Structure 1
């Protein structure tokens, strides 16, 4: 019996950590979300991902040369019912679900005296609301699979003060939800965890543009990191994959910062 168990473990290792697993990832067409999708597919998972534009998803599929192991759908995760339908469709296509990653997110508005009620509502819907809806939708399918793992991409802004307040508040809400949902869903065999990236160096994005356009300002910001290097998306993706995997079967209700020891989350220094 022990020999057959060991053979099974070795077969799983050869096939990849996620061989046979079915995972939904929101916001998977670029940046961190793309890194997560690529890693999961490389390790044997079937992945369903969504993003705002069909063009970005088509580019992802083309770059991967993906087949039926990747499902894509353009949608706004804050739009009523679209996210839920996407999750249900992915589960129907795959014959169930084993995990979900809430990677999509964002912010709208400026400082407290300028931000409108709509700015607050939009930011909340993109972050806390989207995570809650993804969790609710995925949970129905994870229960049918007798458990699974849910990971939300939060931020160090969830507890390290920085502008804008509406973004930090929505990220802090995600972290509280993780603690609560881990207890609520634990009896169903569902683990819920958060990963909080620091400022990531993504080609063409904010910090990469700063590095190219104002090297001195970039170096001042890099001083917020003990090693003077910003976080890479693949470093965060590795931790997300760990939390989705059986290697983390004893981990739930936690927030894992992946920030290279970053101090302030923005160049403003607070």
Structure 2
């Protein structure tokens, strides 16, 4: 029960890491606002939480690019649970792919640039700044932010523009951690490597096969693909009081990839 009684907003709760975190956080006592752009998948996540007997979970449709949507998610937490304790800015879209290949940086369009920057960086930034405003308003020297970055923001890996946006998330995390340390607000990031989720795969559920698991596992020294639960458990630790003296950290969840 690492988050017992904590009021938590989880972005991207409709699938992947966001869904895994929603379930794991609920099992650890969190009171949840599950936010996602895709309302149907988000409602499914809340349904799964309630099937396990946890009733403190609500779904809200949210486009993280829109400040008003993010504010509405935070307001929903305050309205339902009296305050905001944690926000998990699990935000991101994949690198553009055309003709079954990652688009080279010199072939990136203005639309590609704007879309990745808006979602991957502005979306996380919206969650951070609005959460900080709420934490300061509460005035009790408390509050936790966990952001989803990527190992692609730490090393040259994958799409260049995607990696640049995730690198920006890591620097945002570090800067905010120092700026807000005096206010007791902790800011950290999880940095997953290759995960088998629907990330970048469209709306149809991705079928996990032994071949796919082997392909992803070969990317990491430990030989296993990164699961959404691996990343969600790392976020749980950073969100909990077990990490009370940890801030400004970009935590790789990568099977040893960055260390190799």
How many residue pairs match? The answer is 246
Q: Which residue of 2 aligns with 1:128?
A: 121
Please list the CA deviations of residues 59-95 of structure 1 after superposition, one character each: whole Å capped at 9, or x if unmatched. Answer: 1122222665112111221134221222123222221
Inter-partner Cα distance in structure 1 for 2:18 and 2:188: 16
- Where 1:230 maps in the other structure, the secondary structure is coil
RMSD of the TM alignment (CA)? 2.4
Q: Which residue of 1 aligns with 2:77?
A: 90
After TM superposition, the score normalised by the length of structure 1 is: 0.83
Per-residue deviation at 1:27? 0.3
Inter-partner Cα distance in structure 2 for 1:42 and 1:139: 26
Q: Which residue of 1 aligns with 2:131?
A: 138
Inter-partner Cα distance in structure 2 for 1:232 and 1:176: 25
- Where 1:101 maps in the other structure, the secondary structure is strand
Q: After the TM superposition, which parts of structure 1 deviate over 6 Å for at least 4 consecutive aligned residues?
A: none
- Where 2:64 maps in the other structure, the secondary structure is coil
- Where 2:45 maps in the other structure, the secondary structure is helix
Per-residue deviation at 1:262? 2.4
Inter-partner Cα distance in structure 1 for 2:209 and 2:199: 10
Inter-partner Cα distance in structure 1 for 2:135 and 2:248: 17
After TM superposition, the score normalised by the length of structure 2 is: 0.86
Inter-partner Cα distance in structure 1 for 2:185 and 2:258: 32
Q: Which residue of 1 aligns with 2:57?
A: 70
Point out the more displaced range, 145-154 or 165-174: 145-154
Which runs of 5 or more structure 1 residues have no equivalent in the other structure?
Answer: 1-15, 265-270
Q: Which residue of 1 aligns with 2:179?
A: 184
Residues 1:116 and 2:103 aligned together: no
Greater CA radius of gyration, 1 or 2?
1
Residues 1:165 and 2:160 aligned together: yes
